[in-house]
Amino acid sequence: MNATRWLWMPLVAALLLPPEARAFAVVLQYAGAVDDRIAYFADVRVIANRTPPAGVGGATEVREIDVTAVYESADKPEFVHMKLQFQCPGAFPMDRAGGRARENTPRVRAGDAVTFRIGPGSYQLRRTDLKTEPVAATGWNTSAAPALSREGAIACNHIAFDHALHAAIKTGGTFDAGEFGKRVVALGLPVDMPLIAETLPSEFLEFAWENFWWEKVLAGKRPDPSGKWATPLSEVDRQAAMQKLKQKQRELEAGTASIQADLGQGIAQLQAQMRADTQATGAGGRGPDGRKLTPLESSLIAIWKGRPEQDVVMLMGNPQFDEAGDTRFLRYTRTWERDAVTAYGSQGVVGGDAGGFAMCFVEFRTRRDAQGQWRVDDILVRSDYEGAGLGRTRSMCEALARHAAGP
C-alpha cells in the first residue's frame, strides 16, 4: 500500500498548533513500505547563510536547513539529524564594478536536481543504546530525490516560503490553507504540505511514532533493542489510547475549518509576539499595506521612502532577495543560535538543554516608479526568538536599524 495515499488524514491533526506555538516545521515526505518507513521533517524557522566570505555577492550562495529523518526499521538509527547545505542561485548578486545589484532570476523548484552536502554538526541517535553519534560532513553531491529536492526548494527560496506562510494569515487570525498551498505550489512543493509545531529532533521522533506508526506502539512492536522505550501497556492504558485515537478521528471527520482557525490563531499570536520586540511606546503610523508601523519602521521609512534600490545595496550589501508580482524584497538578517542537547534515559527523553535562537531582519520592499526604476516603498522589521534567545532580539534589531540609517 502506498503510504502517501492515506497520509493526509492523520496529518490534518498535526495542524492543530497550540496558541503558544512559537516555531514551525514541515513534514517533507513520508515514504517506504511497512517496517521500513521514513518520515522527513524540516525546521523552517531559520535558513542559515553558509556562503564562504569569498563567495558573498557571487552567482551562487550556500543555504543550510536542518532536516531530521526518522526511521521505523529496527536496522536503522532512531533518527538522523542533518545540517543540509544547498548550492542556490544568488538571486541578487552584486555587480561590484558598477556598484549596482543585477538580478539573477532562476529558482530552484521541488523536482529539480539539487547540489547538496551534509554540513558539520550533523548526528544520529543510535537505536541500540540511544546514544548520539556524529555524522561526518560530506562533499558536494547532486540528487533529484523528492525529499532532498523539496529541502533545496525551501532553503533556496526561504523568503518566498516565509511570505507564503504569513500571506495565509487573514484578518482575524484565520489561516487560509488554500492560500498557503497556492503559494508553495509555485515552488513545486505539495499543495497540502503540513505545518507542525515540533522543531527538535526528539520531538520529530515522538511525532512520527504517535501519528504514523501508533499501531506498532499499541501492539508492543516498536523496535527496541536498547530496552529503553518499551513499557508494556496495561489493558486500561490500551483502551484509553484507542479511545483517544477514535476521538481524534471524529474530530477529523468533522472537517478542517476549526483546525485551520486554530492554526491561524497560533500563527497570528506568533506574529504579535515577534513584533513586540521591535515596538516601543508611541505611534508609528501605517505602512502601504495598512499595518501599524513600529517606531523602528517609521524612522527607517522616513529615511528611505522613494530612494533607489541600488542605494540600499550600496549601504547594506548583497541582500537575500525575492520578487513577487510588482514588488521586490531585499532582506538583511542577523541571527544567533545555540544547538539543543537532548538526554535519553530509561524513560525516553529525560532532560537536556533546549538551546535557542534569535533572529531579526530588516526587509526593504521596492516597486517601480513611472520611469521603471526600482525605489523603496516600504520597510518591514521582524524578530523572533525561542528558548535561550529571549532578550537578544531587541539589540539585534536596533543594531540592524542603526546600520540601515547610514553613517
Instruction: Kindly state whether residues 252 and 294 are assigned to the same domain.
Output: no
Type and span of the H or E element at 244: helix 235-253
Instruction: Kindly state whether residues 215 and 231 are assigned to the same domain.
Output: yes
User: Last residue of a domain, which of 276, 299, 316?
Assistant: 276
Q: Give the whole-angstrom CA distance, residue 42 versus residue 70.
A: 11
Q: How many CB atoms lie within 10 A of CB 37?
A: 18
What is the residue whose three cell numbers read 563567495?
A: 55
Q: Provide the terminal-to-terminal Cα distance of the chain, rounded to the nearest Å.
A: 63
Of 180, 195, 187, 160, nearest to 43 by C-alpha is 195
Of 134, 125, 136, 127, nearest to 343 by C-alpha is 125
pLDDT of residue 47: 85
Instruction: Kindly state whether residues 137 and 35 are assigned to the same domain.
Output: yes
Instruction: Kindly state whether residues 272 and 287 are assigned to the same domain.
Output: no
Instruction: Kindly state whether residues 317 and 267 are assigned to the same domain.
Output: no
Instruction: Kindly state whether residues 254 and 199 are assigned to the same domain.
Output: yes
Instruction: Kindly state whether residues 269 and 285 are assigned to the same domain.
Output: no
Give 154: exposed, middle or buried? Use CB within 10 Å, 0-12, 13-18, 19+.
Answer: buried
Instruction: Kindly state whether residues 266 and 324 are assigned to the same domain.
Output: no
pLDDT of residue 143: 97
Radius of gyration of the chain (CA): 22
Q: Give the whole-angstrom CA distance, residue 311 versus residue 371.
A: 17
Below-70 pLDDT ranges, the chain: 1-23, 57, 91-106, 171-175, 230-235, 237-284, 337-357, 385-391, 407
Number of domains in the chain: 2
Q: Whole-model pTM?
A: 0.68
Domain membership of residue 149 as a residue range: 1-276
**Would you say 332 and 361 are in contact if contact means Cβ atoms under 8 Å apart?**
yes
pLDDT of residue 120: 93
Instruction: Kindly state whether residues 308 and 235 are assigned to the same domain.
Output: no
User: Last residue of a domain, which of 227, 258, 276?
Assistant: 276
Instruction: Kindly state whether residues 248 and 148 are assigned to the same domain.
Output: yes
pLDDT in tens, 136-147: 999 999 999 999
CA-based max dimension of the chain: 75
If phi > 0 it is left, if psi is from -120 to 50 it is alpha, else beta; for residue 395 that is: alpha
What is the residue whose three cell numbers read 544568488?
A: 90
Instruction: Kindly state whether residues 230 and 286 are assigned to the same domain.
Output: no
**Would you say 260 and 176 are in contact if contact means Cβ atoms under 8 Å apart?**
yes
pLDDT of residue 339: 61
The contacts of residue 262 (CB under 8 Å, 6+ apart) are 15, 16, 17, 19
User: Last residue of a domain, which of 276, 310, 332?
Assistant: 276
Taken in order 306, 308, 314, 318, the sign of the CA dihedral is positive
For 184-228, the DSSP string reads HHTTT--TTPPEES--SHHHHHHHHHHHTSHHHHHTT-S--TTSS
Instruction: Kindly state whether residues 165 and 237 are assigned to the same domain.
Output: yes
